[in-house]
Amino acid sequence: MSETNPANLDGHDSDEHGHGGLGKYLAVFVCLCVLTGASFFTYSDLWPYKDTPAVGWIFMMAVSCTKAMLVMLCFMHLWWEANWKYVLTFPAALMSVFLVLMLIPDVGLRTRKYSEQRWQHAAEPEVPASAADRDPEHAEDHHDGTHANQHN
């Protein structure tokens, strides 16, 4: 807690010491707008990785994390706060990141382990039957009674 000094301990007035300022806020604002534009860019036709959506997802999440950091550090004044910030934010952030990271691999693999019965009750994949028949990989997934199910 070496950063704390008496003036800083008054709570309300603690942030009047040379940070913030219109210029900084506007700079951050411009950054945020540019970053929003960057993640919006993945939606445009110019985005080169249309075929591999995962690239876009990772890019957008990276952009979002950057934006979140900018908002927290500048607008929420965490950059200038004393070390207590780690006590309050770190555990929560860790747990939330942990939660999401633990869910993705487990869940991403979920449909690969579906039983036939599970597939029968799953939503219908939008692969035309003819395409599914031609594509052995898909056929494996969807052959199981999807058709039989529909026409009896």
Q: Which of residues 29-48 bind other proteins (CB under 8 A)?
A: 29, 32-33, 36, 39-40, 42-43
Kindly write out the interface string for residues 80-119 of this chain, putting x where it contacts other proteins by CB under 8 A and - elsewhere. Answer: --x-x--xxx-xxx-xxx-xx--xx--xx-xx--x----x
Among the listed residues 4, 17, 117, 140, the single contact to other proteins using CB under 8 A: 4
Q: How far is the CB of 29 from other proteins (least distance, A)?
A: 5
DSSP secondary structure letters along 19-39:
---HHHHHHHHHHHHHHHHHH
Q: How far is the CB of 76 from other proteins (least distance, A)?
A: 5
Q: Is the dihedral of CA 55, 56, 57, 62 positive or negative?
A: positive
Q: Tell me the CB-side half-sphere exposure of residue 96, using CA atoms within 13 A.
A: 5
Among the listed residues 17, 52, 76, 86, the single contact to other proteins using CB under 8 A: 76
CB-wise, 52 or 97, nearer to other proteins? Answer: 97
Helix 22-41 with 53-70: angle, nearest 10 deg: 170
When asked if residue 18 is in the footprint of other proteins (CB under 8 A), the reply is no
How many helices and strands in the chain, by DSSP H and E? 7, 0
